[in-house]
Amino acid sequence: MKSVKAYRYRWLILLALMTLILSVELQWMNMAPVGRVANLYYQDQLSSGFSNPVELLSLAFLVIFVIASIPSSYVIHRLGITVSIRIAAAMILFGAVGKWIYLANFPVVLFCQIILALAQALVLNSITEIVSRWFPIRERGMAVGMASAAQYLSLGIVMVLSPLIVATKAGSSDYGSGFETMMGTYALICSVFALVAAFLIRENPPSPSSVLDRGMDVSFIKSFKAMNKISSLRGLMIIFAVGWGVLVTLLVKIDAISDILGFPNSDGRLGIVLLIGGMIGAVLLPSLSDKWRRRKAFFVFCNLCSIPGVLLLVFSEQVGALFLSSHIIALVGVFIVGFCLLSSIPIGSQYAAELGHGISEEIIQAMLLLFSQASGALILIITLVSKGQYAGQLLSGLAALLFAAMMGSTFLKESEVIITEEERLHKVIEEEIVHLQ
């Protein structure tokens, strides 16, 4: 049995990663909870073909990520973690402050959003690589889960903070006031977080954190070829992308969905409950996955149990007529979706890294997120093109996608990295043919 050293500084590395995630994700959807206010603010600056600036800004984040995902993983591969993270921190600082200063000019805001999206590609593609360098295998699901929880926390912050700063009560005389203050607050928070991350980040621990080889000698091009040979990894990427696409659609359109479900004001209640469930699940379920050494079972569970949550949203009015109320049923449904679907992200990320063991993890993460962001972008493009014509069928369509993802996840194989030595031995014994003499 080999021993490894886990350094205490790994927790500061995780803190740096979490603050960096917070700083970039706060800028992704900070207008979404007050979408009706933001759309009114920019109503004269867009053509009728792109009449929804909030969805356009969110879509820019997704599209740019799809374009930048592979190049950003190459940057991490060539320049290393420290340089890449500091470049991302500088871009976040530029983009966040630029959005605030030129808030009234939507084209400049869109340009700054693109800069932030490029920074996001560097940040998200580095998560499992940083974790694999600093954390032993028994802690990696938990560490990736905490990084994902930071992403959900950032979205939870905007769901709470944006409606608090901006006047969103329909019909009030001060409706929409505080919008500039909101963006200035986010610019300050994001700048501080990005600087903290740039200061704390380090490339490698003094000695490896695990006896497992991370496969850093595999070339960039050969890594893609190796990934294509692993059928479960290919399948996981597609299934992961479907879940992420559903999640992004719910988050971007949370104010519109709230309107459909009968919530009169842009108070962010639905989004807050969604993300509370996600933050709890994203820490709890990956930790249990580490403890019980199961990735596939937890990934299937997350996909399966998110379906009833979406169905509660679809039928909230009918169920609410029987007991409680439609609003409470919708909040229960969105909590279930958050707890399960958002937990599948960190579990799926670590699951993919283990299925592709020996391949550079920043490349696996890049492909995983490329498919995911493309899925989210495709759904958003469809909703933008339809201009809300099929808004009533949106939730039903998302439930159907989750059902397909759940069915597909049952065909994946378990991670061979996470299973115990006893299980490996048992598998060998079952396959062994013994000839008695």
**Does residue 420 carry a pLDDT above 70?**
no
Q: Tokens for 346?
A: 């960190």
- Domain 11-203+215-414 class, CATH top level: mainly alpha
What band does 216 get if pLDDT is binned at 50, 70 and 90?
A: very low
d(CA 106, CA 45): 7
How big is the CA angle at 149 (ends 6 and 283), to the nearest 5 degrees? 65
Distances (CA, A) of 18 to 6, 132, 154, 201, 257: 19, 15, 10, 11, 29
pLDDT at 172 over 80: no
Maximum distance among all Cα pairs of the chain, rounded to whole angstroms: 94
Tell me whether residue 73 is exposed, middle or buried, using C-beta atoms within 10 angstroms of its C-beta: 0 to 12, 13 to 18, 19 or more: buried
Collapsing DSSP states into helix, strand and coil, what is residue 324?
coil
pLDDT beyond 50 at 425: no
Residue 267: the pLDDT is: 63
Q: If residue 171 lies in a helix (H) or strand (E), which one and from where to where?
A: none
* Phi and psi angles of residue 331, each rounded to the nearest 5 degrees, phi first: -70, -40
Please tell me the number of Cα atoms within 13 Å of 149 on its side-chain side.
20
Phi, psi angles (nearest 5°) of residue 5: -110, 130
CA distances from 420 to 23, 325, 412, 417 (A): 38, 47, 18, 8
Model confidence pLDDT, tens digit, residues 351-378: 887 887 777 666 777 777 778 778 877 8
For 124, the token pair is 């998200």
Please name which of 136, 295, 259 lies closest in space to residue 205, comparing C-alpha atoms. Answer: 136
What value does the mean pLDDT of the chain take?
79
Q: Residue 417: what are its φ and ψ, rounded to 5°? A: -80, -35
Tell me, what's the pLDDT at 433? 44
Question: What is the total residue count of the chain?
Answer: 437
Which structure tokens are listed for 221? Answer: 């091009």
424 vs 399, residue with greater confidence? 399
What CA–CA distances, in Å, run from 144 to 32, 130, 208, 344, 430? 26, 10, 18, 11, 34
Reported confidence tier of residue 97, pLDDT bands at 50, 70, 90: very high
Domain boundaries, the chain: 11-203+215-414
Identify the weakest region by mean pLDDT among 27-31, 131-135, 219-223, 283-287.
Answer: 219-223
Is the model's pLDDT at 93 over the cut of 90? yes
Q: How confident is the model at residue 115 (pLDDT cuts 50, 70, 90)?
A: very high
Q: Which single residue is written with the structure tokens 């500088």?
A: 90
pLDDT of 52 higher than 60: yes
Closest by alpha carbon to 38, among 254, 247, 190, 191? 254
- Integer CA distances (angstroms), 415 to 282, 293, 314, 378, in order: 19, 9, 35, 30
Residue 316 token pair: 């909230």
